[in-house]
Amino acid sequence: MTYDYDLFVIGAGSGGLAASKRAASYGAKVAIAEDDLVGGTCVIRGCVPKKLMVYASHFPSLFESAAGYGWQVGNTELDWEKFITSIDQEVRRLSQLHINFLEKAGVELIPSRATLVDEHTVEVDDRKVTADKILLAVGGRAIKPDLPGMEHAITSREIFHLQSQPKHIAIIGAGYIGTEFACIMRGLGCEVTQIIRRDKILRGFDEDIRTQIQEGMTNHGIRVIQNTVVTDLEKVGDELQLNLSGEHTEPVTADVFLVATGRSPNVEGLGLENAGVDLVPSSLEGPGYSKMNAIAVNEYSQTSQPNIYAVGDVTDRINLTPVAIGEGRSFADSEFGNNRRIFSHENVATAIFSSPEAATVGMTETEAKDKLGEDGVKIYRSRFRPMFYTLPDQPEKTMMKLIVDVQTDKVIGAHMVGDYAAEIIQGVAIAVKMGATKKDFDATVGIHPSSAEEFVTMR
């Protein structure tokens, strides 16, 4: 049968862009449909604008540190309108850059929403087109719990477009998004209250990371309310009142309320039922949340329909931009490049751009002990104040940790909290991925003086 396209991609985010360009490089006729700005969550309302906000949030502490080195720093003030406008301009510049890359690669961009009609047919722009293979790369979306008053709350989608700087922002959510924005907004000068359902943030991360970040946040003036949930939200004049239950029941009043309790795979309205694409449960915890679904795929990102594939957050495997890119390229190599391969989801490094920053690769201490037993794991840990903070006499601490398999001597986990954690762990991740041993780390000469050298000097 003759098709209009060899590949039709729905969603021009990280995974869809990577897959479409790679497939086109092998000579495939490719189209990609997107009804939003090209670039997906990462470029538009995720990694890129968030990291720009992270950079901005660090300047007040740098001004404070500068005084310890003899610099006289005068009055400082954030021009919020200029700040937000500059971020939006950069997002749009990058979006256009991705459009240019598609054109250069020979991928046809259709700026419209696309839905499945059947296993080989897509409806887009009120017309039907066919494709030999279809890739679903529509990502996820921020959601709110179904609780009274939630129409007054914002999500990570809207926070980049606040017209004025909040005086007090309340946040629910203890994951990446809630924790990072609590630190960002505090660094920018806002009063911040973070409400979490358990006693610690960042469930699933190594306990030392969770503890040290939360302590650092508290030291930076963030109020963390533990073991508490929001039951409803009321508009009281110009402010919002959050009513609570749990360990803390006194209402919290703020002028902005950010819901950062999870993201849902973007499966609604895709027409999956028309093509017989199966879903798997992907639940979010908490009052007001219903069960969510993700697209079921095998190790080759293939759905229950052999010619339909899915990559990225819509599959709810590891929801990170580099993972979506890797999955997309692996799919294209396998189906169009005569190089059938599986993208490995093992030892994927990640970072939390909080204050303090953290990064990690491999197993947590709990995971390692569950798998290998208490006696099968050796832990190396170091905590210290980096040299940068000695002259300003600031109490910032860095934590580094290695988890070693006693039987093989392999480093199976590396974790860090402190300045430049993401940059440092990125290099360490190569060693962990290659199967380096603790002896290999010990044999590596450190760069002195640096924080990173601690990873090769721990005894």
Strand partners, 234: 241
Q: Is 434 exposed, middle or buried (0-12, 13-18, 19+ CB in 10 A)?
A: exposed
Count, residues in the chain: 459
Q: Clarify whether 58 is annotated catalytic.
A: no
The total of other beta-carbon atoms located within 10 Å of residue 8's CB is: 30
Torsion of CA 165, 167, 172, 176, to 10 degrees: 50
First-last CA distance in the chain: 65
Cα of 447 vs its chain's centroid, Å:
30
Among 254, 221, 81, 237, CA closest to 153: 254
**Angle, CA of 278, 280 and 283, to the nearest 5°:** 150
Among 314, 349, 310, CA closest to 431: 349
Task: Copy the structure tokens of residue 207.
Answer: 């306990």
Number of H helices, E strands in the chain: 11, 23
152, 161, 415, 448: the active-site residue:
448
| Catalytic positions | 448
